[in-house]
Amino acid sequence: MKTRKFIIGAAVAVATLVAGCGTTNQPINTYPPSSNTAASGYGVVESIQPVAASRSGPGLGTIAGGVIGGVLGNQIGSGTGRTAATAAGVIGGAVVGNQVEQRRGAQASAYQVGVRMNNGSYATLTQENISNIAVGDRVRVENGLAVRY
């Protein structure tokens, strides 16, 4: 009984620690910053390049999945069977959590939009959504974003 309480307590402590390491809903910006975000005005889109946000190492999904799987696996059986179920739960939860994290990470992308401004300068903007912007479109640059008009 003491072992079970200890494992549950340890799992809660690890889950709390992992949750404390989480971030807010802010996007992960691993792509290069815009070279000219202060630009504002009108121009023509000269280039659009997709830029993937990269992530490395085990993510929060892997860790949380392993902890949750271990706690659930520990609820099954007794003795050696409980130990095996806990280990299988940790491994299975980590795999599932990793898959969820990868799917979420695959959607994290951005675009570098090159705009030749009407005054002759060039602005490179990094934004997560380009909506219906294409090369050759006239755009308004405002607050570091290109918007078709």
Confidence band of 72 (pLDDT split at 50, 70, 90): confident
Say what the pTM is: 0.44
Q: Is the pLDDT of residue 134 over 90?
A: yes
- Which CATH number describes the domain made up of 31-55+109-149? 2.40.50
Alpha carbon distances (Å) from 87 to 9, 71, 75, 90: 17, 10, 12, 5
More confident residue, 97 or 134: 134
Cβ 145 vs Cβ 114: under 8 Å: no
The predicted pLDDT at position 94 comes to 87
Structure tokens at 122: 């060039």
**Which candidate, 94, 101, 42, 104, places its Cα nearest to that of 66?**
94
Q: Residue 30, Cβ neighbours under 10 Å: how many?
A: 13
Give pLDDT tens digits for 41-69. Answer: 999 999 999 887 555 566 778 888 888 88
Sequence ranges of the domains in the chain: 1-27+56-107, 31-55+109-149
